[in-house]
Amino acid sequence: MLFSMVLHAVRQLTDDDFDSFLSENGLTMVKMYAPWCGHCKALAPKWEALAEQVTVPVVEVDCTVSTKTCGRYGVRGYPAIKFVSKELTYEYDGARETDAMKKWVNVMLKPMFEPISEEQVIAQAAAEQKTTYFILYAPASQTGKYETFLSSLKGSKTIFFVSSSAEQLVAVREGVRVVHTQMTTGAMKQFIENNQFGFLPELTEGYKSLTTRPNKQLLVLCYSKDYHQEIADEIKQLEKDSVTTPSEKTAVMSKFTLAGAPHGDSLNRFIEQFKVPEGDAPFLVFFDGKVEKEEKYLKIMLEEGDYAKQTLQAMRTFNKKMLIGINDTEAKPEQKTAEKAAPAATAQTNDKQIEMLKNYIGSKFAEQEDKTQKLLIAVVCVGLVQVVIMLLRKPKVVYVESSEKSKKK
């Protein structure tokens, strides 16, 4: 009995013995924490319970003491939960509950792909309440190859394997099937990255992966679930339409990841964690977790009316530079449209001035009777028009200097 208690106790590791422990034990569940962290304190009893229910070692590292180890694993927030060996590292980003963590450990201990039928996929997804998942279709003999291709995604993405002669990867997003046929490692990972969430997912436990996506700009709808659910439904349908029936109108949406933060715990956490300005919902927040400034957002208020249209307009006028230095700035989509239209209007004005100048010179040229004079004036006029056009479009001193040099010659 005493041996059993020692076997399942949480082991405290430091910089001095962390590597040697991994060498001796292989795959290990690791919690990296700080003693002052409230979330770490809440996790402590659940972590102790986990140690008693799984077959792998369960350890913890105090990052305020073992800075070298925590730094090597890129720990930036507490607690960080990882499943590691000397060669492999997998990060856990699920619920901080014993049952959820235990289930994840058991998944990590099994082969990544075991062929099942379509019926089993549907039944298992329903049992696990999965509304978004992937199905990999390939010959059963190819499970090893694809496990190698996608090993870094083990435990973080739900991917079922169905034996099939035709090879393809299908994303099932809330009943919508998106098919991918480019079966290379990079292409499959990119497809999974782009389709791993449902439509307008709520910022919950998995919000961290949403805020640091490498190839998508995050756009968050902040709304009150009691009063603005129809707004969320409208924007959610817009996103779904952009996948099922893509059009020129919705093409801009491929550059964004949409998420929802309904008033309550998820919105409060989003505001607290990322210092998003508070205010009456509904509003949009363009957010980038990789911007190394305290201000990482652009807030845009939504007015009563066509919310889907306003959201699309905000996407079209958004520029990533707008995130830099923004602090509690509220803008309206139509204001950005007006700013964007201004340069085009200036260009049109310049074109009209050039056309008027051409007409004027042409009329003067027509008044000359002597053919020799006409030829001479034509040459001079062509040169003059070219100089004036360059002055109007790119007024730089360099043209004046060139003219002076030609006179000296």
Q: Residues 232, 235, 236, 237: is their CA dihedral positive or negative? A: positive
* DSSP state at residue 139: -
pLDDT of residue 404: 41
Q: What is the pLDDT of residues 330-367, one digit of tens each?
A: 444 444 444 444 444 444 444 444 444 444 444 444 44
CA distance linking residue 35 with residue 39, whole number of Å:
10
Task: Indicate the range of 100-104, 185-189, 400-404 predicted with least confidence.
Answer: 400-404
Enumerate the CATH 3.40.30.10 domain ranges in the chain, comma separated. Answer: 2-108, 118-194, 207-331
Mean pLDDT throughout 78-101?
89
Q: Domain spanning 2-108 has what CATH number?
A: 3.40.30.10
Q: End-to-end CA distance of the chain, in Å?
A: 104
Residues with Cβ < 8 Å from 96, sequence gap 6 or more?
Answer: 39, 42, 43, 46, 79, 81, 205
pLDDT of residue 204: 66
Q: What is the pLDDT of residues 376-388, one digit of tens each?
A: 555 555 565 565 5
Is 118-194 assigned to CATH 3.40.1160.10?
no
pLDDT of residue 365: 41
CA dihedral 209, 264, 132, 112 (to 10 degrees): 50
User: Above pLDDT 90, what percent of the chain?
Assistant: 46
Q: Which H helix or E strand runs over 203? A: none
Phi, psi of 284 (to 5 degrees): -100, 145
Q: Is the pLDDT of residue 180 over 80?
A: yes
pTM: 0.65
Q: Is the pLDDT of residue 201 over 90?
A: no
pLDDT of residue 397: 37
CA distance linking residue 329 with residue 393, whole number of Å:
34
pLDDT of residue 214: 58
Structure tokens at 275: 């210092």
Phi, psi of 371 (to 5 degrees): -65, -40
Which residue in 81, 103, 83, 105 sits closest to 93, CA to CA? 81
Phi, psi of 147 (to 5 degrees): -65, -35
The per-residue DSSP string of 236-284 comes to HHHHHHHHHS--TTTGGGGGEEEEEEETTHHHHHHHHHHTPPP-SSPEE
Q: What is the mean pLDDT of the chain?
A: 78
Confidence of residue 14 (pLDDT cuts 50, 70, 90): very high
pLDDT of residue 261: 82
CA distance linking residue 137 with residue 168, whole number of Å:
5
Task: Indicate the range of 100-104, 294-298, 355-359, 388-392 predicted with least confidence.
Answer: 355-359
| Residue 161 and residue 143 in contact, taking contact as beta carbons nearer than 8 Å | yes
Q: Are strands 132-138 and 159-163 parallel, antiparallel or unpaired?
A: parallel
* Domain 207-331 top-level CATH class: alpha beta
pLDDT of residue 210: 67
Q: What is the pLDDT of residues 19-72, one digit of tens each?
A: 999 999 989 999 999 999 999 999 999 999 999 999 999 999 999 999 999 999
